[in-house]
Amino acid sequence: MVSYVIRRLLQAALVMLVVAFVSFSLFRFAGDPVNNMVGQEATQADRQALRDRLGLNDPFPIQFANFVIDALQGEFGISYRLQRPVEDLIVERMPATLELVAVSAVLALITGIPLGVYCGIHRESWISRTLLTLSLVGVSLPTFVIGILLIYLFSVQMLWLPSFGRGEVVQLGWWSTGFLTVSGWHALILPSITLSLFQLTLILRLVRSEMLEVMRTDYIKFARARGLSDRAINFGHALKNTLVPVITIVGLNIGSLIAFSIITETVFNWPGMGLLFIKAVQFADVPIMAAYLTMVAFVFVSINLMVDLLYYAVDPRLKVDKGAAVGRLS
């Protein structure tokens, strides 16, 4: 048990280090932050002096080593663009992204699962066919097109919902929440629909195909033979068994929702981490880019680690150590 966990943790640390290295070496191609940090009047000497102050003249291995050492202490330096410590900025922006992701995930689940069940049971009805066709649109339309379309319809034409921003937020300690104000909820509607649409269609199609699969199995036939009600069969037996892969996919997708909310955040000017990152890329703001990518890697690595540990808890085969297992088999 202990050795399994330690092995996993070591692997996770290695992955983090590799991600940090790759992203850090990519920044050399992101351009020159110095040019964005001084006016056009600055002389070459001024520019050199600023480069020295930023440590951009150090050789690459030294820059990387400094980055890793600081990052281990939770320090990511000071943003070139906003002139504030990066950790503060990320902590400030995190609630916006997490609230958006949470609402989107819930939205995708509570609409995706019932619709998927419906399509799985009534596979021939015209409603299912329409839903399936529409879901294709959801999968294939790029997020920013959906976002712009929603803005055009609901903000510009109907004047119902705000086209950008988070509305009014309430500060609960360090956490800023939009859940406690009307304008906060209004502002959440369009971005969360945009972000959830892909997940929704994915869940719908997954649940549908799993339902079709399960409905063919022997135990469902047996349940029918026992004379159980449709409701008990569909929801009590079939749905429960379809949920295992759905939960796995949704769990893994939370990570990508956090990482890929970038586009939705850009379209709706949602002040989360994704927007912070995009602006950092445009400015060649290396400290923010490095911190963001490291953080995203950390989210993925931790989710994977948790999944691994959950498997360990769920799957009894992993608990038996190898020697004993071999012994029993022989």
Query: CB within 8 A of 326, min separation 6: which ones?
Result: none
First to last CA, the chain: 23
Of 6-14, 133-141, 268-276, 321-329, the segment contacting other proteins by CB under 8 A is 268-276
Ramachandran angles phi, psi of 78, nearest 5°: -115, 135
Cα gap 259→37, rounded to integer Å: 27
Q: List the one residue out of 80, 81, 99 whose CA is nearest residue 272.
A: 99
183 binds other proteins (CB under 8 A): no
Q: How many residues bind other proteins (CB under 8 A)?
A: 57
283 binds other proteins (CB under 8 A): yes
19 binds other proteins (CB under 8 A): no
Give the three-class secondary structure for 181: coil
Cα diameter, the chain: 87
Exposed e or buried b per residue across 271-303, where buried means at least 16 C-beta atoms within 10 angstroms of its C-beta: bbbbbbbeebeebbbbbbbbbbbbbbbeebbeb
Closest contact distance (angstroms) between CB of 89 and other proteins is: 9
Among 11, 111, 155, 256, binds other proteins (CB under 8 A): 155
* Residue list 200-259, contact with other proteins (CB under 8 A): none
Of 46-54, 104-112, 233-241, 306-314, the segment contacting other proteins by CB under 8 A is 46-54
Among 49, 71, 102, 303, binds other proteins (CB under 8 A): 49
* Residue list 72-111, contact with other proteins (CB under 8 A): 75, 77-78, 80-85, 88
Among 35, 130, 229, 248, binds other proteins (CB under 8 A): 35
Of 17-25, 26-34, 102-110, 306-314, the segment contacting other proteins by CB under 8 A is 26-34
**Crossing angle of the two packed helices 240-267 and 143-150, in degrees rounded to 10:** 70
DSSP result, 289-311: HHHHHHHHHHHHHHHHHHHHHHH
Among 4, 11, 19, 50, binds other proteins (CB under 8 A): 50
Q: Which is nearer to other proteins, 29 or 126 (CB)?
A: 29
271 binds other proteins (CB under 8 A): yes
163 binds other proteins (CB under 8 A): yes
The alpha-helical segments, DSSP class H, found in 141-285 are: 143-150, 182-215, 218-225, 230-231, 240-267, 273-283
Give the three-class secondary structure for 100: helix
Closest contact distance (angstroms) between CB of 196 and other proteins is: 19
Q: List residues near other proteins by CB under 8 A.
A: 29-44, 46-47, 49-50, 53-54, 75, 77-78, 80-85, 88, 148, 151-152, 155-159, 162-166, 266-269, 271, 275-276, 278-279, 282-284
